[in-house]
Structures are given as C-alpha cells and as structure tokens.
A and B are shown apart, each in its own frame.
Chain A
C-alpha cells in the first residue's frame, strides 16, 4: 500500500538522494538499450565493439583518466565503495583515518574491515564553526594512518571539504587515499589522476541525473584491489579464477548495460552543460538558503565556506520526519528527513537523534519550486 501516488510534486528537492528529472537523453538511452538486441549480445558475441567499453572510455575522457581500464563499474556508489574498501589488503586497516562527515556507505565497510583486521579507526570531528577540523586532521596524520577515507561534500550540509590539501597531506603521510565523490559529482570537477588519491567512487543517479543502479570506481595504478566477487567475465573463460587484469578483475557477472548507457548519456550531457548547470544550481541554492534564513525560527545547519545545494534545517514544533511528511503530503514538496545515513555528522552538528529536514536542489530546480518550498515552510513555521 502506498500513500504517495496522489499528490503531484510542487517541488522536487531531493536531489542529494536522486537527481530528478533525469538529464536529457538518459531515458532514451536506457530504453534503447533495453530494446536493441545488440546490447544484449554481450562480450565475445562477435560485435565490433562492446558498448560497455565505449561507456568506460566516455567516463575516462570526462574524468581525465588516461587508462579507461582504471574505471570500474558497480551496481551503485555503495557497492563501488565496498569494492574499494574491502578489496584492500588487511594491513591497510591497521590504522584508518576518516571523518564524522562520512556516509554509512564508507563508515560501515570501514568498521567491518577494521574490526576484522583488529585495526584502529580515528575520526576527525568538526571544528567549532562546523567545518572539518583541519588541525585535528593534520595532527592525526602524525600517527601515520595506513588508509585515509574522505568525503568530498557532506550529504547533510553540502559543505565542500578542501580535499586536495587534505589528500596531499594524507599521501605524504604514507596513507592510501579514498575519496567519496557521491555528492560532488556533477557539481564539482573531478580530476582523480591529477589529485593525490588512489580510489574514488560515485553513483550515476545523483548530481549526474543518470539512472540508478550504476556506480563508478576509479582505481589508481598504484593500487591492486582483491575482487570481492568472482564469476562469469565473458572472456578468459579458461581461467578457473577471476581474470587478474583490470577492470575485469573487479567486474564479475553481467553488467547493467541499460544503466551504463544511461550513465553515458548523462555524462555526455553534463560535459556540455557543466558550467551553466552548476551556475544555475548555485544561484538556486543561494535563493533557497536566503529564503529559509528569513523565516523566523528556522535553524539552518550551514557551516561557513564553499558548499553545494544541500541545506539541512530544523523547524520548531516539528519533528524532522513529520515535517518532511507534511511537506510532501500537504504541500507537495519532496524532500528528505532524518539522519541521511550520516549519524556521526548529526552527532557532531547536535541534530542527533532527531535528524534534520534536508532540501537539495539541482541545476534543474525551477524558481517556482523554490518559492513553493519556502511558502510551505513559512506556513508551517507560523
């Protein structure tokens, strides 16, 4: 039973979970992949070129990665992060450094691996202004962590972490570096080969406005991950183990070709629209933030410094989950409430256990959607 089918949305402000609408060309690409028999033929079926390898080249070109084989496809950003973390050798979990801003997609596999390997994990907190504590991070590096996992953008506050100096310092300390780019992809330029990082992951359905069901993992040539699963690869079937070469090493089983071709369409669109898309998103986010700031009683969790269009707030007299439900059911404003799979961030912000209401915009968000959301919050705040 569903009670979500009746009201058409007046505003879609849930882009940090899933970007909507899809980028132009995405739906057509997915549909074409489902309807065209050539996309079902698979590897070794005599086709001139594997469409998945075309997608891989598109991603590599877009990310500035010289060897497309370093781009691995997975079923989601979460699975890509699991491939990255759990594929590392046990000694990498001897001393792990990460931050309170991380999503459970990073925290949970890290904790699993650290526990299994009897290692240690250290968390960098926020400083009093609400941004990642740089001094604490640098002090923690003196302990020579073996792995540093960093969030590019917080999915709670939209805060952008200054990843280049942080990653540089981490690498100088001898750590393997992992970047979770789930919230930055589409809104910030990603240059994994130019940055001092070893692993980077993101999904297709957020800032890229591609389809769900596809995640991307960049693996630098410095790193050799152990496969988490093995099985059919379509090539080298004479081997009794997963083929050792990248990316097959990490990609057992039939790929989600429709989602991958949808991702390719999203990336192509993004490549041509990045500047205007990001400018529109920034302008819209600022308008929304300023509007919320003017509503009496609204408490915005908004750290200083650069950020993307993710805004968390609380409304007096309303629990966050109830407020989001009312926004959706009474006003047609689609948003998200709760802990946003980032419990440590909410503890650091002081919004645990109730969580926050989260509005997240995109370059597709229209001014009238912002006005509808602000009008709803104003009326609820009375």
Chain B
C-alpha cells in the first residue's frame, strides 16, 4: 500500500492545513490496525462504513473510512518538516501491509 498523491484541501475554518492522501489501495482492517504503531487509534467499527482516526504524539491527525483509498491528514502548526516526517513513517509502515483487494482505477 503506497501513498500515490497528496494535496492540500481548503476548508472554511482557520485551522491547521488539511491534506487529502490518495493510496494505491483501499484501507483494510489490517492496514488500519497497523496505524496503532504511530499513535492512538480510534476505530469505529460499528459505523456503516467503519471510521478510523489516528492521533500521533507529535500532533498529526489522520482520519479515514475503511474501504476507501483516501484519508485526510491535519498537521497542527502546518510545519512542512512535521509533514515530511509523518509521511516517511506512514510510508514505511504501509509498505509492509498486504491487502487482498486490488487498487482502484484512477483517471
């Protein structure tokens, strides 16, 4: 599971910058579980489409929905270095995740 693309998302709040991440494959329960290695994971398995939220000790917040190949990530303070560090750790973590389903087709 690889990070394919990352883009800034505008919203109407004066909050930290929010990014949309696109991955090569959709989030599975296994991949979501791996996130525990990066911080505190909340997993709402009883939602119609299970929701997960990761909070790292450095303050980064990642949220996503199981079965989708995207997630949203917020970096309080918006520091570019924090973003790069997080991306590198996330990439290493997900590189070892094997999912059964194939990746979605993207235009």
Contacts and interface: CB of A to CB of B under 8 A. Distances in A.
Contacts of B48: 330-332
A353 B47 contact: no
A215 B12 CA distance: 22
A214 to B, nearest CB: 23
A340 interface: yes
B7 A1 contact: yes
A134 interface: no
Contact of A355 (B13, B49, B63, B70): B13
Interface string A349-371: 00001110000000000000000
B14 interface: yes
Contacts of B5: 1
Interface residues of A, number: 21
Nearest to A319: B15
Interface in B8-58: 11-15, 18, 20, 22, 44, 46-51, 53
B51 A330 contact: yes
Contacts of B11: 321, 338
B65 interface: yes
Band of interface residues on B = 20 to 34
A61 B72 CA distance: 48
A190 interface: no
A3 interface: yes
A225 B47 CA distance: 54
A325 B46 contact: no
A329 B106 contact: no
Contacts of A321: 11, 13, 15, 18
B12 A340 contact: yes
A331 B51 CA distance: 10
B12 A355 contact: yes
A330 B20 contact: no
A325 B47 contact: no
Nearest to A375: B48
Contacts of A320: 13
B7 A330 contact: no
A1 B106 contact: yes
Nearest to B7: A1
Nearest to B65: A329
A10 to B, nearest CB: 9
Contact of A7 (B15, B18, B49): B49
Given A338-B11, A339-B12, 18 more contacts: A1-B5, A1-B22, A1-B106, A3-B68, A3-B69, A3-B70, A320-B13, A322-B63, A325-B72, A326-B47, A326-B51, A330-B49, A330-B50, A330-B65, A331-B49, A338-B13, A353-B14, A354-B15
Nearest 8 interchain pairs by C-beta: A338-B12, A3-B70, A330-B47, A329-B65, A330-B49, A330-B51, A338-B13, A353-B14
